[in-house]
A and B are shown apart, each in its own frame.
Chain A
Amino acid sequence: MKIAVFLLLLSRIAMAEDYQVEVDPQVYSTSDFEGKDVKTGNIPPRVKRPDALPNKRDREFTFSQVPGLDKYVSPLDELDRDVLFVRAKTRPLAELKKRYPNIPSALLARLKKEAAK
């Protein structure tokens, strides 16, 4: 596994000698980079996007919170389950009803509510 971890952002700003260092506070302290002509700050906290593909455990937990849904999602593979989950988080109920006509509307509404949590 050779995937670079995003540790810090180093960028040159308006004044030629000034640098701004943005640090991931979970990895470094800003004090490690303080110095002459260097501005330091923390990278703003990042959050999961609503349309990010879900972690499997989170997705299954959400599905399990909707009684009766299992019957409809058990034939779906991982891909279709993920797509259903993201749609439930991001798409209006009317669209969900059109896309999943075999799932009762009440279950879709409940799923939408659970996915938003």
Chain B
Amino acid sequence: MRFLALLPALLLSAPALADNVILMVNMNYSSSELQAVKEQAIARSQGGAIHQRVEMVPPESMIALAEPMFALRDQLLDSLQKQFPNMDSLELRSALAGIMRVGPSWNTDSAVADFLGQAQMNNLYRAAQRVAVAEKTNGEMYDQLKRKAAELQAKGDRVDSVVLSSHSDGSNLTGETANRLSANDLYRLRQEAPSLFDNARNVLLLGCYNMTQPNHRAWRYDLFPRASMLAGFGIKAPSRFDDTSPNFIRQVMGRAQQLDSQTAALGHPLDPVNLQKAFTTLSTFTTAAHPGVVDYCYSIVEGQPNTWKRDCDTQWADLFKKSKVMQDYWSLTSPVENPAPENDAKLRNFYNSLQEACPANDTNSQKNDWQNSERFRVTFRENVIRLIFWWNVQANFATYYASDIPLMNSRLAAAGIRGTMPSLDGTTGRVDFVRSFNAVVAQLHNTNPQLEADFRRLYAPLYYLKGEDTVAQGEKLTVADTLARNAIPFNWIEGTTVMRRR
């Protein structure tokens, strides 16, 4: 409720002559959702001194290219499903994606290719190529949004509300073509283009899982701390082809406008019961399939119980699922993603999900094995926090082993090992480090077991990034003891302090 004190000031702070903009990030080019947002802009402009308009990113002209392509794709999918009723829908979608990418020469499944024929495959391919070429010209979503922020600022416009329409895992946004906006991109934009976030009064998040408790926390506190309303879906969001989605926009944005006006006029918080009623009486907010969640001035209203705070079984199931995706970071054989240098929002969200999940012994699916489930939580938490702070950890490691690393490098050179370990000066990505480590081990394996053992021993803490949750009672706690167990001391995550060499 503390935000309410700021709300009237926020609502009245718009420069009188500036246009108010509703920014719609429309990653799947939905014309029906855009139409609903435009209606809200018109409604908000009526009788007011301020004219509102909608600005879309990517450019609105893309809709004319993308919608016919999606329509053709879905029409072909429909015929394929009728022709091949026993084939998995995902396989059919993947076949169409292949045709869109490769063209009429696609022949991974000859039955599908024969059924569609060259002409239809060519039509789909050409439509997809037109969109792909235009998207390449538009550039990355991150760059487009940065450009839009500069353009609006130059005109003296203010972003009054933000609508984000895309598929989502809760924190990263994806479109069905090449459009991507990661949690890290959003976090960087908040730093580099704050005008997109700072004055946003109403925020709609139309992807799945955006408004579950851990995901909502990141949107609210990291991105839109001053918004009067954040609204979206806790679990599954409706398809953009379903009327629910544009109607959700109309109803929820309309209601937010009313509540903002009431709050500004009253100058004190709205009654919680009325606030609850204001949203639960909206038909699109309480559906069983796509229940909404709203955070109005930091008060949470759920369309259905347990939408925001998901039940314990779902939390744990999601956690295991997410941990597989995070393999991209912590794979010890082939990692593909480095932690972001400043603050990795994806890793941070995963860490938060780990801590948010219910105690395992309160969770039906984990009860029988709750000690192991808790062990999983502890282990992953320790790894993830050290990955988040990877850049400090490596610098501390290099300082501590400032004498040992050059010595090891000389031994490797003397043994004829090709390639060297990258310098750990706080700028080496985890991906480079792991690849180099594995390359050295592969050369030493079976040829120089002693040097391999010494090499592994030296770098093991940085390679595994383990923590050390417990110690034997009375044991002395030193950096050396921790490292001897292949673990990384907690204080090595510190941002500014580089620990002394040993």
Contact = CB atoms under 8 A, between A and B. Distances in A.
A18 interface: no
Contact residues of A: prevailing secondary structure: loop
Interface in B388-441: 388
B287 interface: no
Nearest to B475: A44
A43 B475 CA distance: 13
Interface in B443-484: 467-474, 477
A75 B369 contact: no
Interface stretch (A32-40, A49-57, A61-69): A49-57
Contacts of B217: 77
Contacts of A45: 472-473
Contact residues of B: prevailing secondary structure: helix
B283 interface: no
B490 interface: yes
A56 B51 CA distance: 48
A96 interface: no
B211 to A, nearest CB: 16
Interface stretch (B11-19, B87-95, B243-251, B379-387): B379-387
B218 A77 contact: yes
B376 A86 contact: no
B469 A78 contact: no
B393 to A, nearest CB: 14
Interface residues of A, number: 24
Q: What class of interface size applies to chain B in its complex with A?
A: 35 or more
B254 interface: no
A25 to B, nearest CB: 13
A112 to B, nearest CB: 16
Contacts of B382: 53
Contacts of A13: none
Nearest to A48: B470
B351 A48 contact: no
B397 to A, nearest CB: 17
B372 interface: yes
B376 A1 contact: yes
A52 B493 CA distance: 13
Interface of A: 1, 3, 5, 43-53, 56-57, 75, 77-79, 82-83, 86, 90
Query: Closest 10 CB pairs between A and B?
Result: A78-B355, A51-B490, A46-B470, A44-B472, A78-B352, A1-B372, A52-B469, A45-B473, A79-B351, A3-B372
